[in-house]
Amino acid sequence: PASTRTDRVPETRRRPGTVMIEIDARHERFVQPLATALEAVASIFEGQLASEFPAVESLCNHVGRYRGKMLRPTLTLLSGLAAREGDVAVLENDALCRLAAVFEMIHMATLVHDDVLDEADDRRGGATVNRLNDNETAVMLGDYLISNAFHLAAGIGDADLTERIGRVTNTLCEGELIQLHHRDDLGLDLETYLATIRRKTAVLVGACGSLGARVAGGTDSASEALGVFGERLGIAFQIRDDVFDLDGDAAVVGKSVGRDLAKGKMTLPMILLLDGADSTVFSEAVDAFRSRDPEAVLRLLKEGDAITRAIKFATEQVGDAKDAIAGVPLGGTEALLDDLADAVVARDR
């Protein structure tokens, strides 16, 4: 397998991030093995990005700050654990930890590129790469992260797995292109919105579930169920993010807000507001959207209960995720997976 060069990683870069779930007594036997595995993922991630060139090293140090909720690596590890019915020994599986790092690296690349597309200034409470440097540097850094993700994936030594990861990244790009095509499309319907966020966000989270289970040696049925679980979580996650962008506090959320409206992106709250609105509300909402007036848009969304309805829709996706793994033998990991699912909507950032 390709070396990940962990011996060259500066200590200041070892930041595993913050796991989304609160560990309690129900999860006691999984706590330390999961924490150790996440540390291994962080080490692999950082070792793969270690560079002999100070300029590249500095950029990778900076993007390392973007690792926050660790949803994708956590789900990858938990899916492997669940597919092996709670056998904690699987968390020492190098291929599983590498896969978790691959998915986090791909996710980081999408964040760097998103910040360019959205002209965002802040992420994780600090400056974006494009703000600190320029768009050209940010685009190349995102490409560098994707390149390293595939280098790392190739080291697992499973050609079919690498092909599946490639299919996922193709779909992510397709989703972004579809979203760009529908900018300022006030006629965007729910079906198209869901198809778009499935491609641009949910397929990656779904792959964490299905491929995490597969690499761990789980059954096809477990892999399929955990893939559906992850995809539903990904949809709920994106809806929650879309709501944050409309009514979130940048200081709390930790990134620029209001960028979707500024870029003419129709998201679920606005779709729900326009669907069935009377002529007066419809006209006001269209005018507010076209004039990029965040205060007017938010007022109308709240008056029309669209924010609450969007959160309810996300919560229903979480319920569907839980239903997908019901009846699958998961060795006592169900509570962990349920808590992770609940945290996707309950989070404040």
Question: Cα(335)–Cα(326) distance, rounded to whole angstroms?
Answer: 11
At residue 13 the predicted structure's pLDDT band, cuts being 50, 70 and 90, is very low
Give the SS3 label for residue 123. strand
At residue 8 the predicted structure's pLDDT band, cuts being 50, 70 and 90, is very low
Question: Cα(225)–Cα(222) distance, rounded to whole angstroms?
Answer: 5
Give the bridge partners for 127, in sequence order. Answer: 122
Checking if the pLDDT of 146 tops 60, the result is yes
Per-residue pLDDT at 65: 77
3 lies in some domain:
no
Judged by phi (left if over 0) then psi (alpha if -120 to 50, else beta), residue 87 lies in: beta
Closest CA to 255 of 125, 132, 135: 125
Per-residue pLDDT at 23: 55
Beta strands 126-127 and 122-123, pairing class:
antiparallel
Query: Which secondary-structure segment (H or E) carries 127?
Result: strand 126-127
Structure tokens at 75: 């789900």
Structure tokens at 196: 């778009």
Per-residue pLDDT at 26: 66
Q: What is the mean pLDDT of residues 186-205?
A: 98
Question: Cα(94)–Cα(158) distance, rounded to whole angstroms?
Answer: 13
pLDDT digits (tens, 9 = 90+) for 252-290: 777 778 999 999 999 999 999 999 899 999 999 999 999
Among 106-115, 252-261, 262-271, 293-302, the range scoring the smallest mean pLDDT is 252-261
6 lies in some domain:
no
At residue 238 the predicted structure's pLDDT band, cuts being 50, 70 and 90, is very high
7 lies in some domain:
no
At residue 132 the predicted structure's pLDDT band, cuts being 50, 70 and 90, is confident
Per-residue pLDDT at 275: 96
181 lies in some domain:
yes
- pTM for this structure? 0.91
9 lies in some domain:
no
Q: What is the mean pLDDT of residues 161-181?
A: 98
Checking if the pLDDT of 17 tops 70, the result is no
Checking if the pLDDT of 196 tops 50, the result is yes
CATH number of the domain to which 67 belongs: 1.10.600.10
Per-residue pLDDT at 20: 64
Contacting residues for 346 by C-beta, under 8 A, at least 6 apart: none
Residue 283 domain boundaries: 14-346
DSSP code string of 230-245: HHHHHHHHHHHHHHHH
Q: Output the CA–CA distances (angstroms, integers) from residue 236 to 21, 262, 292, in the order listed.
A: 16, 23, 25
DSSP code string of 88-108: GGGGG-HHHHHHHHHHHHHHH
Give the SS3 label for residue 271. helix
4 lies in some domain:
no
164 lies in some domain:
yes
Per-residue pLDDT at 257: 85
Among 55-59, 119-123, 257-261, the range scoring the smallest mean pLDDT is 119-123
**Total count of domains within the chain:** 1
| Percentage of the residues of the chain whose pLDDT score is greater than 90 | 78
Question: Cα(284)–Cα(135) distance, rounded to whole angstroms?
Answer: 35
Question: Cα(221)–Cα(274) distance, rounded to whole angstroms?
Answer: 40
The per-residue pLDDT of the chain, averaged, comes to 91
Question: Cα(82)–Cα(127) distance, rounded to whole angstroms?
Answer: 37
Per-residue pLDDT at 66: 78
CA triple 328-330-334, angle to 5 deg: 100
1 lies in some domain:
no
Question: Cα(338)–Cα(22) distance, rounded to whole angstroms?
Answer: 11
Per-residue pLDDT at 120: 87
pLDDT digits (tens, 9 = 90+) for 321-349: 999 999 999 999 999 999 999 999 998 77
